[in-house]
Amino acid sequence: MSLSPRAEPFLWIHLAGLATVPLWAALFLFAIANPDPFLPPGFTALLAGILGIGSVLWMQLRRPFYIFSLAILALRPEALQEHQRKLLRWFLSGLNRILAITTAIGLGLLLIQLYRWLPIVQLQNPLAALDPFPAFLLAIVTVWVLSLFVQVPVSVAPLLWLSDTAIANTEPLAPGQVAQQFTILGLPLKGLLPAQWYGDQGLSEVSEANWSQPLVSPTPVETVAMTETEAVVQPEGAASPEESSTAVVTSPVDLVSEAVSSDVSSVSAIATSNPEDATTEETAEETAS
């Protein structure tokens, strides 16, 4: 079962990164508001823009950003589902490269517009006490993060309009290809997001994966056959193990009845064995009567 691209949480998470663009733009202005007095005006902003925008553009053209990652954590390529590896193939298309180049040009124009606000920022700069060199490093970092948080959402946005048929007809990348063709930033983990974030389809995939695992069958009881040499010779008349195992437990009433019957039989046996005594008793009874 393949999920719709709009049901992939990672796409929406990276698309939401556009909300942080004003923050990085403000930090860039504060950083370049302390220029080096020995450098030409605007050189710090120009160099920071080239290094920050150019490095992210080079990454998107050579090895695109691995979207199944959050901050310093990343999902292992071996842990990706089939529909996720299908989505990654679209980042290797020519459309993604065209969008990366267009976005880089747009970011350059944005920095030029921000530079025009520099005189106003210099009036009240919270980073005025920062030395020029640390401010220059901060400007490079802010432009790099600004470019990353714009390039990735721009590359992710077209995937949200892909149809389920287009995704189903896409051949998924192998886990080895993912590691070779994408820039993976962060500590690799087996999982990042809970299965509930994928809705009913994600839960059904998890349940199918659980039911697909074979059940552990109990170990069959091994029977050991006795050979003729191992057989125990029992005396005649002795009960066999099978007969002893099927012995019936009698109730107390049966035991009493058996005892009474045995007493009656014993009395009758005594009477039968001594006929002379029995005749003498009969003669005594007649005389007494």
| Structure confidence by residue, pLDDT tens digits, 220-259 | 444 444 444 444 444 444 444 444 444 444 444 455 455 5
Token readout for 120 is 């106003």
| pLDDT higher than threshold 90 for residue 108 | yes
Is residue 126 within 8 A of residue 102, CB to CB? The reply is no
Task: Tell me which range, 8-22, 119-133, 183-197, is most confidently predicted by mean pLDDT.
Answer: 8-22
Model pLDDT, residue 92: 92
Match 């309009």 to its residue by tokens.
161
Does position 267 have pLDDT exceeding 50, yes or no?
no
* pTM attached to this predicted model: 0.66
Distance CA 99, CA 59 (A): 13
